[in-house]
Amino acid sequence: MVMEKNLITLAKVIERCAPPSPEYIRPWLRRLRDLTATKAVPVAARQHEGAGKHRLYDPNIIPLAAVLLRLGDCGVQIGNLSSLARVILHPRKKVDRGAKQVWDRALAHDLHDYQEAWLAISPIPIAGGVDFAAGYGPITLLDDPAAPDTCVIVVYLSRIFRQIKAGG
C-alpha cells in the first residue's frame, strides 16, 4: 500500500502530466475530476469527505492520466476513456493484454529498437464502445471497405511518457 505522504493532489497530477500550455490546466482539472468520478483514474485516498473534498492519487497513475487527458483533447468521450483505462488497469482479453504489454514497454522505455510506441483508439459507431490497437514503430492502418466509416485517433505513448518523465 502507498504511504499517504507519497500521495499527490489532483492539481499535482495535472502538473506532472505536462500540459502543452497553461490553457489546458482548467479543462484538464475538470476532465480529471470526471475521470475520477467514473473510476477511470482511481483515487488512492481522500483527505476528507463532503464539500471541498480533496482527492489524493498514487503517483503511478500519472502516465494513465496523461494519456487519457490528451485523448480527451482529441474528442474521445469519457465512457471510451474509461474503457481504455480498464484495458490498461485490468486487461482481460488477449488483445487488451497486448496493448498493456506495449504500454508497459513504452513506460519502461524498452521499445525493441523502435523509436516510438503508439496506441490507436477507434470509437465504434452506432453499436458503441471502442476498439484499441497498440504497437511499435510505423503505424499501419488497415483499409477495410466493409468496415463502417470511423475515425482513428493515435497517440505516441513513448513521447507522452518522455514528456511526463522530463517534467517530473
pLDDT digits (tens, 9 = 90+) for 51-71: 556 789 999 999 999 999 999
Kindly state the percentage of the chain with pLDDT values over 70: 85
Residues 6 or more apart whose Cβ sits within 8 Å of residue 73: 24, 27
Pairwise pLDDT comparison (119 vs 123), residue with the higher score: 119
Residues 6 or more apart whose Cβ sits within 8 Å of residue 51: none
Contact 121, 130 (CB under 8 A): yes
| pLDDT bucket at 25, cuts 50 / 70 / 90 | very high
Q: What is the CA radius of gyration of the chain?
A: 16
Q: Structure pTM?
A: 0.87
Pairwise pLDDT comparison (95 vs 35), residue with the higher score: 35
Nearest to 81 by CA among 13, 150, 144, 31: 31
**All structural domains of the chain with their residue ranges:** 4-167
Furthest C-alpha separation in the chain: 54
pLDDT digits (tens, 9 = 90+) for 71-107: 999 999 999 999 999 999 998 888 889 999 999 999 9
Q: How far is the C-alpha of 79 from the C-alpha of 88, rounded, in Å?
A: 15
| pLDDT bucket at 2, cuts 50 / 70 / 90 | very low
